[in-house]
Amino acid sequence: MPFPNAAQTYARVGLETGVSAANPHRLVLMLFDGAICAVIDAERHLVDGRIAEKGLAISRAISIVNDGLSASLNQAQGGKIAGYLLELYDYMCRRLLHANLRNDRGAMLEVVQLLGELRSSWAAIGTSQPSFVPAAVAPGVAHHAAA
């Protein structure tokens, strides 16, 4: 299965079914969707005063970004783009940690915006070139994309 760490993370947080049937491009979109939903949930929990639930939702988002999106990058083949994405994912995780510690809605909304922009770009790649698998994605994915 492509992206074994990403698929396990996604299945573990229980955000959507059908991971095993998803192509690599769709799986990354699902990870973006899951991370965005988790941060939005955290923001709602914060507004409603459910601090424990906020922390759990932020933990889910960090897990998806770290164990899914970051883990799916291939720095050897992805070059500078993969490096920039890794740095951006790290930044988002630090902002989420800050948001959790300081109950900072602005930091949560910043991460949602960043994830949304990346998701939109990723979705556009898929619609313009459906069989395209960027070199920044983990090795072995191109094999699965052809199936």
User: Does residue 18 or residue 8 have the better pLDDT?
Assistant: 18
pTM over 0.85: no
Q: Hey, what domains does the chain have and what are their CATH numbers?
A: 4-141 (1.20.120.340)
- Max CA pair span of the chain: 47
- Confidence class for position 18, pLDDT limits 50, 70, 90: low
Comparing CA positions, the residue from 91, 34, 89, 48 lying closest to residue 66 is 89
Confidence check: pLDDT of 39 > 90: yes
Q: What is the pLDDT of residue 2?
A: 45
Residue 138 DSSP one-character state: P
- Whether 55 has a pLDDT exceeding 80, the answer reads yes
Q: What is the arithmetic mean of pLDDT over 17-42? A: 86
